[in-house]
Chain A
Amino acid sequence: MTHSAENPLHHPEVHQASLSGYVANFLITVLVMTAALWLARDNSLPAGSLVGWTSLLALVAVLVQAYLLLHMNWSKAQIWHTVAMILFVPLFVVMIGLTMWMFHGLYQRTAIAMPHQTMAAPMHPAPAASAAAHTVKAA
């Protein structure tokens, strides 16, 4: 069961490899990430939809890599890897969900301005009182 002498190149996982798959993965990932970077730098979308779009692009990048690079699929050789990966999804939900919940409340309760406000008035943080007033409305 330990290191058997058989040729590792015969393992079914190894046969999932394909040059075109890797190249496609590389190109798509670069494209998606560049698009996200460009969106963030360009900064012309409103904050909410900027977050939405970059998250969507991130999701695309993750799925593409999971499929083309890690070969997560339903084949007999890979199905358990795929299932294991899916079992981790709740962690993402917990982490991102709880973080959003916490920041949502925090923004309402503190003088930290919402992202789009800080962008509109760069450099100097607004005086606490007025910022707090803004924030309450913005949220």
Chain B
Amino acid sequence: MFVHLQGPWNPVWGRLSLQAIPYQNPILVGTFLFAMIAALAIVGAVFYFRAGPYLWREWFTTVDHKKIGVMYCLLGLVMLFRGFIDALMIRSQQAMAVGPHSPGYLGALHGYLTPFHIGQVYTAHGLIMVVFAATPLLVGIMNIVVPLQIGARDMAYPYLNALGFWLTAAAAALVMLSLFVGNFAHGGWYGFLPYFELPYSPGVGVDYWMWAFQLSAIGTTMGSINLIATIVKMRAPGMTWMRMPIFTWASLSTNLIALTSFPVLMVSLALLGLDRYFGTHFYTAGQGGNLMLYNDLFWVWGHPEVYFLILPAFGMMSEIIPTFSEKTLFGYATMVVASFAIGGVSWGVWLHHFFTMAAEPSVNSFYSVTTMLVGIPTGVKVFNWIFTMYRGRVRFELPMLWALLALFLLLVGGMTGMMNAFAASDYMWHNGVFVVAHFHMMVLLIASSIFGAVEYWFPKVFGFKLEQRWGKWFFWFMVLGTAWVFVPMFILGFAGMTRRLDYVPVTQWAPYLRVMLVGMAFYVVALGFFVAHLYVSLRDRMKNRVGADPWGTTRNLEWMTHSPVPAYNFAFIPRVHARDEWAWRKEHGMANLGNESFEDIHMPRNTGVPVLLGALSFALCFALVWRIWWLAAACLGLVVLVIILRSFARKTDEVIPATTVAGVERAAQDALASPARG
């Protein structure tokens, strides 16, 4: 039944053998040592502080949407770091390996990375940044903020929420593991057919890529179901649709995209899996297969996916800009419509990723036009933000700086996107670095919004503000790095440089590549400032403690409850009177929560099942990658068994007694009144 494999296989270890460990590669050995030291430090700290039981009880088994959100963000940050290291390697390789006389080190003819190695690096970079850095960060922030903004106590499905997170984490771990056991795909993050078929990519790299991608897609789909159900069903009384905060609207739109498009990704990867494991011919070049079908299916997901990433970022900007312009958002209704228009149009543009496939001119023209249509709702949003700032009292605090940078990057990325949208010009630079620069503007916009959002909502989640001095240094060095890396990249794109080069044949490009390397140095410095920013903020946390409304001019429900938010979010489910409820309450002298007759609060109960399922899925995918059939069968069986057993669990909830609630509320009030507030 299974397809014939090239190379050894045995029933116990599958394809796994000692050769799979890349101990001859000094870079990977170094990475391994670094990872081990980091892991030892963490584990050591956990034991030293006896934090194990605490971590397990309060974090690993939690179903609290805020804690899950925080864990999503931590996962995203770790993977952002990994992806950044990959970027450093790509940039330094390309700066070194220019021209036939450039020296080679570590077994490479030019530069220090062999083609096989740098292939893995850029593949991992793309996949990690899109799926394991940006997505978890965005999902994490939505997880934290959406229930608070709609006045709910948790997500609609807290258990599913934890499960989605642990599956995503398992998928990320799988990518990391591929560094040290086996290798990773080396044909680009979106897959390349028929190159990714078994005969041409016989190793385990593609399998790692495929299963990690698949697992994260399952996790993200679960998250999207959860957020949609939460927004539709759990809004506080009085929160009508048109009173919903814009970030919540953006989350709804974005998760509708995720819910409808991720299944397509799963199918396109599953068909590749059938090809690679059972020898079917969905994407082969002959025997009835069609390799363009893969491109088609992948980008049917792929383009909606980029809007899945950007809509929450737009939502964040729409929260930050009014707060720091001290005005209500301009054009609320058009903002809502634009979010959904973007979501809708994103479903009809995917072919612009393969204009060069040789479709009919009418087809290409159709997709050119639909792609350009996206510019209309996006433009509406841009003008709304600008009009929000117009005649506002704009305060350039850190969240606002990030939001403005995002706005600027949106213009650059959007304009260059429009240039890509002309099929005729896209023929000139498709698969070149112009395209790469375009979408990096877009994803850096997303990153900027995320940093802004973290600055903005951090005090809500943790109860103290991040400091501003190092944060500003971090911001400005990110700006510098972005300019120095991507302006030359646009230029090289016009000069005709193709993407994913392991060796650059044109020596005239060397200066640009070196300038880009300087940009990377700025990014490295920025990373240092980021660490300082976090360190100083954590050190001074008692000095920077804040109350419910740390920015003073916030507008939505999440700012009504205490900072940090208690486990139950709101002692009383708020009744909503207006759009921008919190601003409305402040105007109408109703900002005080005080109500003495607290009630019991019914909450979901922690469970270790999601962690277990995450671990089992990890093992399942590992077994599938290495074709260890007994292990795969055992893990799959256990997954099914655990799910069935869990469905019999009766004690899935618990009650926080009114006295506890009263205690927590009083403590929060007292903390507010105390002079410790800096």
- Residue from B264, B358, B604 within 8 A of A3 (CB atoms): B604
- Are B290 and A112 in contact, with the CB atoms below 8 A? yes
**Which listed segment binds B: A27-35, A63-71, A91-99?**
A91-99
With A1-B234, A91-B260, A105-B360 already in contact, the answer to whether A118 and B347 are too (CB < 8 A) is no
- Are A98 and B348 in contact, with the CB atoms below 8 A? yes
- Residue from A5, A91, A106, A115 within 8 A of B347 (CB atoms): A91
**How many chain A residues touch the partner (CB < 8 A)?**
27
Distance of A88 Cα from B348 Cα, bound (Å): 14
Q: Which residues of A contact B153 (CB under 8 A)?
A: 2-3
Contact code string B651-671 (vs A, CB < 8 Å = 1, else 0)? 001010000000000000000
- Are B288 and A115 in contact, with the CB atoms below 8 A? yes
- Are A106 and B286 in contact, with the CB atoms below 8 A? no
With A101-B363, A102-B296 already in contact, the answer to whether A123 and B286 are too (CB < 8 A) is yes
- Are A4 and B602 in contact, with the CB atoms below 8 A? yes
- Residue from B287, B358, B604 within 8 A of A106 (CB atoms): B358
- Residue from B235, B286, B300, B348 within 8 A of A124 (CB atoms): B286
- Are A122 and B286 in contact, with the CB atoms below 8 A? yes
With A91-B260, A102-B296 already in contact, the answer to whether A2 and B234 are too (CB < 8 A) is yes
> Is B359 part of the contact surface with A, judged by Cβ < 8 Å?
yes
With A2-B573, A122-B287 already in contact, the answer to whether A94 and B363 are too (CB < 8 A) is no
- Are B288 and A95 in contact, with the CB atoms below 8 A? no
- Nearest Cβ distance between residue B362 and chain A, in whole angstroms? 7
- Are B347 and A94 in contact, with the CB atoms below 8 A? yes
Q: Which residues of B contact A115 (CB under 8 A)?
A: 288, 290
In the complex, which residue of chain A has the Cβ closest to the Cβ of B600? A5
- Nearest Cβ distance between residue A114 and chain B, in whole angstroms? 10
- Nearest Cβ distance between residue A4 and chain B, in whole angstroms? 7
Per the 8 Å Cβ criterion, residues 609-668 of B in contact with A are 653, 655
Contact code string B254-265 (vs A, CB < 8 Å = 1, else 0)? 000000100010
Distance of A115 Cα from B288 Cα, bound (Å): 5
Query: Chain B: interface residue count, which band?
Result: 20 to 34
- Are B348 and A106 in contact, with the CB atoms below 8 A? no
Q: Which residues of A contact B292 (CB under 8 A)?
A: 103, 106, 112
Per the 8 Å Cβ criterion, residues 100-125 of A in contact with B are 101-103, 105-106, 108-110, 112, 115, 118-119, 122-125
In the complex, which residue of chain B has the Cβ closest to the Cβ of A108? B360
- Are B348 and A94 in contact, with the CB atoms below 8 A? yes
- Residue from A3, A5, A94, A123 within 8 A of B154 (CB atoms): A3
Contact code string B217-250 (vs A, CB < 8 Å = 1, else 0)? 0000000000000000011110000000000000
- Nearest Cβ distance between residue A13 and chain B, in whole angstroms? 12
Q: Which residues of A contact B348 (CB under 8 A)?
A: 94, 98
Per the 8 Å Cβ criterion, residues 41-56 of A in contact with B are none
Q: Which residues of A contact B234 (CB under 8 A)?
A: 1-2
Q: Which residues of B contact A3 (CB under 8 A)?
A: 153-154, 602-604, 653
Q: Which residues of A contact B235 (CB under 8 A)?
A: 1
> Is B389 part of the contact surface with A, judged by Cβ < 8 Å?
no
- Are B237 and A105 in contact, with the CB atoms below 8 A? no
> Is B3 part of the contact surface with A, judged by Cβ < 8 Å?
no
Q: Which residues of A contact B358 (CB under 8 A)?
A: 106, 109-110
With A1-B234, A2-B154, A4-B602 already in contact, the answer to whether A102 and B286 are too (CB < 8 A) is no
Q: Which residues of A contact B152 (CB under 8 A)?
A: 1-2
> Is B351 part of the contact surface with A, judged by Cβ < 8 Å?
yes
- Nearest Cβ distance between residue B423 and chain A, in whole angstroms? 13
Distance of A94 Cα from B260 Cα, bound (Å): 12
> Is B285 part of the contact surface with A, judged by Cβ < 8 Å?
yes
> Is B85 part of the contact surface with A, judged by Cβ < 8 Å?
no
In the complex, which residue of chain A has the Cβ closest to the Cβ of B351? A102
- Residue from A2, A108, A119 within 8 A of B287 (CB atoms): A119
- Are B573 and A118 in contact, with the CB atoms below 8 A? no
Distance of A109 Cα from B364 Cα, bound (Å): 13
Q: Which residues of B contact A124 (CB under 8 A)?
A: 286
> Is B357 part of the contact surface with A, judged by Cβ < 8 Å?
yes
With A5-B602, A122-B287 already in contact, the answer to whether A95 and B300 are too (CB < 8 A) is yes
Q: Which residues of A contact B347 (CB under 8 A)?
A: 91, 94-95
- Are A99 and B296 in contact, with the CB atoms below 8 A? yes
Distance of A124 Cα from B602 Cα, bound (Å): 66
Distance of A50 Cα from B8 Cα, bound (Å): 39
Distance of A51 Cα from B306 Cα, bound (Å): 32
Contact code string B564-593 (vs A, CB < 8 Å = 1, else 0)? 000000000100000000000000000000
Q: Which residues of B contact A88 (CB under 8 A)?
A: 260
Q: Which residues of A contact B237 (CB under 8 A)?
A: 1
Q: Which residues of B contact A109 (CB under 8 A)?
A: 358-360
Contact code string A1-30 (vs B, CB < 8 Å = 1, else 0)? 111110000000000000000000000000
Distance of A124 Cα from B351 Cα, bound (Å): 29
- Are B288 and A105 in contact, with the CB atoms below 8 A? no
Q: Which residues of B contact A102 (CB under 8 A)?
A: 296, 351, 359-360, 363
Distance of A105 Cα from B260 Cα, bound (Å): 26
Query: Which of A103, A124, A125 has the largest count of B CB atoms less than 10 A from its CB?
Result: A103
- Nearest Cβ distance between residue A34 and chain B, in whole angstroms? 16
Q: Which residues of B contact A1 (CB under 8 A)?
A: 152, 234-237, 573
- Nearest Cβ distance between residue A42 and chain B, in whole angstroms? 13
- Are B653 and A118 in contact, with the CB atoms below 8 A? no
Q: Which residues of A contact B286 (CB under 8 A)?
A: 118, 122-125
Distance of A103 Cα from B237 Cα, bound (Å): 50
In the complex, which residue of chain B has the Cβ closest to the Cβ of A121? B286
- Nearest Cβ distance between residue A40 and chain B, in whole angstroms? 9
Q: Which residues of B contact A94 (CB under 8 A)?
A: 347-348
Q: Which residues of A contact B653 (CB under 8 A)?
A: 3
Per the 8 Å Cβ criterion, residues 267-291 of B in contact with A are 285-288, 290
- Residue from A2, A106, A119 within 8 A of B359 (CB atoms): A106
Closest 9 CB pairs of A and B: A105-B360, A2-B153, A3-B602, A5-B602, A115-B288, A102-B363, A102-B359, A118-B288, A125-B286
Selected A-B contacts with CB under 8 Å, 18 pairs: A2-B573, A2-B602, A3-B154, A3-B603, A3-B604, A5-B602, A94-B348, A103-B290, A103-B292, A106-B358, A108-B360, A109-B358, A109-B360, A118-B286, A118-B287, A123-B286, A125-B285, A125-B286
A1-B573, A2-B154, A3-B603 known; 20 other A-B pairs, CB under 8 Å?
A1-B152, A1-B236, A2-B602, A3-B653, A94-B348, A95-B347, A98-B348, A98-B351, A99-B296, A99-B300, A102-B351, A103-B292, A105-B360, A106-B358, A106-B359, A108-B360, A109-B359, A119-B288, A122-B286, A123-B286
